[in-house]
Chain A
Amino acid sequence: MIDVPETSLYLTDQYYADTIAAFEDCWEDSREILDVGIRNSCRAFLEHEARILDEQRLDDWLALFVAECAYWIPSTPEAGDPRKEITITFDDRRRLEDRVFRLQTDAAWSQQPASRTSRMISNVATFHGPNGSDIMVRSVFQTTEFRRGDTRRFAGCNRHHLRTEDNGWRIVAKQVNLIDCDQNLRNPSIIL
């Protein structure tokens, strides 16, 4: 395990405002980065993320995030303001590590036995991020999950806020937009 931060000081009102703005404002056609090299590089990173999640390498997945990060699954198609409404998930670094810790306890019954997953990533598009060199990536995903005799699907659009750190991409924030985010979900306990 990574060292656990006992305090989490970065999740301020301003951090919320900046995160909301980054995910709302970066998707105009005029901001799209058409450079194939950048796009391929981001696509490779998303495929890597999908692979390590399929392989249940959750510690490696945590290492893909910058120290001060967010993992956000809105409960409405409009995403809304997580300060004013309940989300499916809004994790800072500490809660994200809690999430992984819980799944690794062997007592998280919703994942005993663990789901097998198969994640497809497609339609990757890259955009200029909210500051200098950051990149916003939009992709669609279809995650098929098998557990306890049932095969189920999660589908939607991922939005990644990426930054270059230590010579590779790191996730500043990830927003998972399920097509059925405002519907009742059965056992949404896997990481999306």
Chain B
Amino acid sequence: MSRIDYHLRSRPRMADETDYSALIHEDRVHRLIYTDPAIFEAEMEKIFGGVWVYLAHESQVPNNDDFVLGRLGRRPIIVVRDSQGELRALFNRCPHRGATVCRQPVGSARTFQCPYHGWSFRNSGTLNGVPWPDGYATDFKDTRFNLAQMPRVESYRGFIFGTLNLAAPLLTDYLGPARQPLDEWLDRHPGGVIRLCEANRLKFKGNWKLAYDNAADGYHVVFSHRSLLQMENRLMSEEAKGMAFYKDKPDDAPMYVHYLGNGHHYKNKRPNICNEDQEVLPGALWEIEGHFPGMEAYEARIRDHLGDRADAALDLACSEPVNINIFPNLSILGNHIQVFQPLAVDETDTTWFGTAIVDDDGFLEGLADDINAMRMRTQESFPNFGEVDDLTNFEEIQAGLHVIEDEWVYMHRGLNLPDRFKHLDDGTVIGPATDEVFMRETYKVWADLMTAQPTLALQR
């Protein structure tokens, strides 16, 4: 058993003189939060380090010794299930001279050897050996020669998170009320599990928060996605098709946005398809899903095999009408697990991991592959025909924010209209679908995090 050392750093690397209270107002935020490189650098420590950040999904590392590369902010990491089965997030950085030790994006390995001078490490992070150690007057049992790793890594039902902040709450407490929609999202699948299955990988030249601001935004839908709505509507009746929820007066629809605390929020569109007993009946999702390749042939097979149970099975191929956003970098939309990866103050990757159903218990009588064959195509629709337009609009925001003198970005839809909101006992807030309350609440949390002085630690 190796000794664990925590290496504490009590203050951020960069002196941060920013007065955050001047940038975040009740109704608006300052352009600098999206454009200032110094604020971005501070975010990479205080947020992407200071809070629980989504790192990877357990289905990417199903067996001992499996690993997948990732990032914490811009820090390269190796998420690994080590030889003892423990999930770890190693920093992909040789303690010797700083080179990354692993360059293969995904794989299986008991050890990692640095290609530069051959230092090698067990997948628990401990130093295995260095070439020609008699050339050193050093005790290599010193933990400072192990790979550094994140001191806290936890999984919530397959979602792996990590933080450098030893004072952060338990992950379950950080997720808080967001656990309920997350549980509901998982529990509709056989066994309550999904696996990742490749991704639609996109990027945009803009700040990462533009994507997070958009994640529960019901106000943009009919405008930013006008081409997608026109495309969907050309073949089908106008009522109740996917995003057609937003036609006419979306605020009068039963769907809602729910701010969940800690910057998490939730858009629930299920109430739009509930019956009068507030239930979503089997087949309700299939009913509203747009056209997709393979729908007719696979539907026929599934109805043939499953009879009365076919509707419930077909729903598994359809997009779940929710957005569950876990601050700062995870957004579950429909069936996707979308991850926001900041690269620079004005560059962000958004990766839309597809999810497939796993039917180890045979609930679907061998038809899981057929469901997945449909589910892949339903998932490709939005990244192809919707998200590219959003990302373009994010880029055009970043361009517009070059007007230095025009300082403010407004998010005051619903503000001072108390009748639009319900404040629940758990501190969460519910508002109409197009309301910007979730952004305003998230930026209060953001300002608190950016003003705090978290103690960040490495483990070796």
Query: Which residues in A have some Cβ–Cβ distance to B below 8 Å?
Result: 4, 6-13, 15-16, 75-76, 80, 82-92, 94-95, 98-99, 101-103, 105, 107-110, 182-189
Contacts A99-B384, A105-B230 aside, 17 further interface pairs with beta carbons under 8 A come to A4-B234, A7-B296, A9-B296, A11-B297, A75-B198, A75-B200, A84-B356, A84-B376, A86-B376, A95-B381, A102-B228, A107-B227, A107-B230, A182-B105, A187-B202, A187-B388, A188-B388
Most buried by B among A85, A94, A102, A188: A102
Residues of B within 8 A of A184 (CB): 201-203, 341, 349-351
- Chain A CB within 8 A of B210 CB: no
Most buried by B among A7, A103, A184, A188: A184
Task: Please state if B293 and A186 are interface contacts (CB–CB under 8 Å).
Answer: no
Residues of B within 8 A of A7 (CB): 296
Residues of B within 8 A of A99 (CB): 384-385
Dominant secondary structure at the A interface: loop
CB-based closest 4 A-B pairs: A86-B354, A83-B373, A92-B293, A107-B226
A109 and B384 in contact, given A90-B293, A186-B203 (Cβ under 8 angstroms): no
* Partner pick for A86 among B105, B199, B294, CB 8 A cutoff: B199
- Chain A CB within 8 A of B5 CB: no
Task: Please state if B297 and A110 are interface contacts (CB–CB under 8 Å).
Answer: no
Task: Please state if A85 and B197 are interface contacts (CB–CB under 8 Å).
Answer: yes
Residues of A within 8 A of B376 (CB): 82-87, 90
Q: How far is the CA of A192 from the CA of B300 in the complex (A)?
A: 33
Stretch at the interface among B51-59, B93-101, B182-190, B389-397: B389-397
Task: Please state if B356 and A4 are interface contacts (CB–CB under 8 Å).
Answer: no
Task: Please state if B199 and A75 are interface contacts (CB–CB under 8 Å).
Answer: yes
Task: Please state if A8 and B296 are interface contacts (CB–CB under 8 Å).
Answer: yes
Task: Please state if A185 and B201 are interface contacts (CB–CB under 8 Å).
Answer: yes
- Chain A CB within 8 A of B235 CB: yes
Task: Output the nearest chain B residue to A180 by Cβ-Cβ distance.
Answer: B201
Q: How far is the CA of A182 from the CA of B373 in the complex (A)?
A: 20
| 1/0 contact string of B367-410 vs chain A (CB within 8 Å) | 00110110011011100110011011100000000000000000
Task: Please state if B293 and A101 are interface contacts (CB–CB under 8 Å).
Answer: no
A88 and B200 in contact, given A83-B373, A184-B351 (Cβ under 8 angstroms): yes
How far is the CB of A17 from the nearest CB of chain B, in Å?
Answer: 11
Residues of B within 8 A of A95 (CB): 291-293, 377, 381
Task: Output the nearest chain B residue to A91 by Cβ-Cβ distance.
Answer: B293
How far is the CB of B211 from the nearest CB of chain A, in Å?
Answer: 12
- Chain A CB within 8 A of B205 CB: yes
Task: Please state if A187 and B392 are interface contacts (CB–CB under 8 Å).
Answer: yes
Task: Please state if A101 and B391 are interface contacts (CB–CB under 8 Å).
Answer: no
Task: Please state if A102 and B298 are interface contacts (CB–CB under 8 Å).
Answer: no
Residues of B within 8 A of A189 (CB): 388
How far is the CB of B398 from the nearest CB of chain A, in Å?
Answer: 12
Q: How far is the CA of A132 from the CA of B267 in the complex (A)?
A: 53
Residues of B within 8 A of A16 (CB): 294, 373
How far is the CB of A89 from the nearest CB of chain B, in Å?
Answer: 6
- Chain A CB within 8 A of B327 CB: no
- Chain A CB within 8 A of B231 CB: yes
Task: Please state if A183 and B391 are interface contacts (CB–CB under 8 Å).
Answer: no
Task: Please state if B205 and A186 are interface contacts (CB–CB under 8 Å).
Answer: yes
How far is the CB of B230 from the nearest CB of chain A, in Å?
Answer: 5
List residues 283-311 of chain B with CB under 8 A from any CB of chain A. 291-298, 301
Task: Please state if A185 and B202 are interface contacts (CB–CB under 8 Å).
Answer: yes
Task: Output the nearest chain B residue to A89 by Cβ-Cβ distance.
Answer: B384
- Chain A CB within 8 A of B224 CB: yes
Task: Please state if A102 and B230 are interface contacts (CB–CB under 8 Å).
Answer: yes
- Chain A CB within 8 A of B266 CB: no
List residues 322-352 of chain B with CB under 8 A from any CB of chain A. 341, 349-352
How far is the CB of B396 from the nearest CB of chain A, in Å?
Answer: 8
How far is the CB of A77 from the nearest CB of chain B, in Å?
Answer: 12
| Contacts A/B (CB < 8 Å), 5 sampled | A8-B295, A92-B294, A102-B228, A105-B227, A186-B205
Most buried by A among B294, B351, B354: B294
- Chain A CB within 8 A of B204 CB: yes
Task: Please state if B200 and A108 are interface contacts (CB–CB under 8 Å).
Answer: no
Residues of A within 8 A of B205 (CB): 186
Residues of B within 8 A of A187 (CB): 202, 204, 388, 391-392
Task: Please state if B197 and A84 are interface contacts (CB–CB under 8 Å).
Answer: yes
How far is the CB of B69 from the nearest CB of chain A, in Å?
Answer: 12
How far is the CB of B404 from the nearest CB of chain A, in Å?
Answer: 19
How far is the CB of B206 from the nearest CB of chain A, in Å?
Answer: 11
Task: Please state if A85 and B373 are interface contacts (CB–CB under 8 Å).
Answer: no
Task: Output the nearest chain A residue to B294 by Cβ-Cβ distance.
Answer: A11
Task: Output the nearest chain A residue to B354 by Cβ-Cβ distance.
Answer: A86
Task: Please state if B369 and A84 are interface contacts (CB–CB under 8 Å).
Answer: yes
Q: How far is the CA of A90 from the CA of B292 in the complex (A)?
A: 10
